[in-house]
A = this chain, B = another copy of it.
Amino acid sequence: MSKEHKKKNVFIQGAISPAFIGDSIAKHSTKTEIGAHSIFLGQVRNDILDGKEVAAIEYTAYTEMADEVFHAIREETFAKYPLTCMHMYHSIGVVAAGEISLFVFTSSRHRADALEACTYIVNRIKAEAPVWGKELFTDGSHTWKANT
C-alpha cells in the first residue's frame, strides 16, 4: 500500500444533517485537483410492514469490529481507485424516517473513479459492516431490519 490513511471515526450519534453534508462539500473547494465528487446518502424509509409504519430506525454496531471493517474498506478502495478523498459516516442510535443514516463521499480527478468507488464502498458497507437496524413502528412495537 503506497499511502497510509489514518483510522477515522465513522459513527455519528443520531441523524446526519444536510448542513453537515453541505459543509463537507465546501471543505473540498481548496482541493483544486478534484474534478468529480460522488455522494451516496442512505435515508430512513417509513416502510409499512404488516400494516405498521416505520417511524425510525435504531442502529447499534459492534464498533470495535466496525472500525476495522471501515478501515479495510478505506484502504482497499484507495488501492483500487485513484481517489483524492473519501469519507464515510454512519449513524448510531435513533434516526427518524426522512433523516439520513449513511453518507459516503468520494472525490477524484475524473468522474468514473468517484462514481464507481462510491458504489463499491456502499455495497461493501451494506455487506460487511457489523451494524444492525431495529425498525421502530409508530405503535411502539419493532422488528429487525433485513438488508436487501
Closest 5 CB pairs of A and B: A22-B22, A18-B26, A32-B46, A39-B39, A29-B98
- Are A43 and B28 also in contact (CB < 8 A) when A38-B38, A115-B118 are? yes
Chain B residues lying within 8 Å of A8, measured Cβ to Cβ, are none
Does A2 count as interface, using CB distance less than 8 angstroms?
A: no
Interface set of A (CB-CB < 8 Å, partner B): 18-19, 21-23, 25-26, 28-46, 97-100, 107, 109-111, 114-115, 118-119, 122, 126, 148
Bound-state CA distance A132–B34 (Å) is: 20
Give the number of copies in the complex.
2
Partner of A41, one of B18, B36, B97, B119: B36
Question: Taking CB as reference atom, which chain B residue is nearest A148?
Answer: B110
Chain B: minimal CB distance from A73 (Å): 16
Chain B positions within 8 Å of A126 at CB level: 111
For A36, what are the chain B residues with a Cβ–Cβ distance below 8 Å?
40-43
